[in-house]
Amino acid sequence: MDMDTTDKTLRRFLIPLDTGESYVRPIAFMKCLVATLGQRIEKVTLFHVMAGRYLSQHMTNIDVRVSSIISTDRFRKLRRAYLDREIRPALEAAKKELESSGIQAPVEIVIDDGEPVEQIVKKANEDDYSTLILQRSNASRVEEMFVGSVTSGVLHREVNGTIYLPGTMAQTGACPPKSCLIALGASPCDQVVLQRAAVLLAACGDNLEKVVLTHVLDVVKCSEEMVDGTISGSYIDDLLGKAADFLAAQGIAKNKIIQAVGCGNPADVLVDEINTQEVGIVFMGRRDRTALKELFMGSISRKIIYRCSKRTVVLVSAV
């Protein structure tokens, strides 16, 4: 498997934040990455989007509708006061927490107006961020599909960078990550998944205890590859064996690499393997779907996100 790790991987981080307690998990995970990656990190942006469209709309129409009551400059002052009172303190607290972790890279705060999903995707792609760390939603699957959330919206859009969704384990202080599962297939996207995972795992050093390379066969393929009740060795060597060799070439000890092949529903098999191995991070390829397709067809990655809330889920695009 001839691959080169991408130099941009895990260098520029975009962290969309809301006010209140929602920033705790993403910041805790970013602190873990700071401890793991050190000087590899080049930049961190804490990004907040003003969800209330009325601010921009009022500023556009204010001279026509209420010019006798309030001036545009006055409105901007009110907006600035709102930001200083309600928004900026939480972002400054998050920035201070990151800086106290020993990060060497600059940490900036950016506040923008507009629709949150649109602005986050635009910022991530146009400014070439390698990594996007999103807050996991606590809403149920049905609530998320019909009510919606910023995270759900971003997951349904094309984002060039790798998306990290920190689980509850990210707040326990286990740094660097000790265990990882990498879901692999034979597509070009899965090769990129392995590349991106290798960068983080190599940085973990001796703290890394195990890496589980996992591939799931459908029932038909499974019966074809089955020999005397087990999956044929040639299949494992062709896919997972080469992946293990690649990780070993990046400095990861081979005795820490586990190869696992399962048969059946991919989401069910992966969830079982994740729970059995008790891994902290799950890497997998990202498949772009609309919300409507998601509702009726389902998605392996989405099911993993909902059913493995403790784990950090990493979604990698092929771009």
In the numeric block, which tokens belong to residue 72? Answer: 């545009």
Taking a C-beta distance cutoff of 8 angstroms, is the pair 200, 10 a contact? yes
CB 40 within 8 A of CB 203: yes
Of 3.90.1150.10, 3.40.50.12370, 3.40.50.300, 3.40.50.2300, the CATH number of 12-316 is 3.40.50.12370
CA angle 60, 64, 66 (to 5 degrees): 95
Q: Between vectors from CA 116 to CA 111 and to CA 119, what angle results, nearest 5°?
A: 70
* CA atoms of 278 and 243, how far apart (whole Å): 21
CA distance 221 to 234: 14
- State residue 67's pLDDT score: 45
Mean pLDDT per 10-residue interval, the chain, length 319 residues? 61 90 84 94 95 51 47 74 87 94 96 91 96 79 55 88 87 75 88 95 94 88 68 74 96 96 91 95 78 53 88 87
Total-model pTM? 0.86
- Residue 263 half-sphere exposure toward CB, CA atoms < 13 A: 12
Token pair of 262, please?
């399962």
CA angle 98, 107, 10 (to 5 degrees): 85
Angle at 316 between CA 312 and CA 319, to 5 degrees: 160
Of residues 97, 106, 52, the one with CA closest to residue 79:
52
Phi and psi at 30, nearest 5°, equal -65, -40
Which bin fits 96, alpha (ψ -120 to 50), beta or left (φ > 0)?
A: alpha
Length of the chain: 319
Residue for token digits 């000087």?
39
Tell me which residue has tokens 């493995």. 308
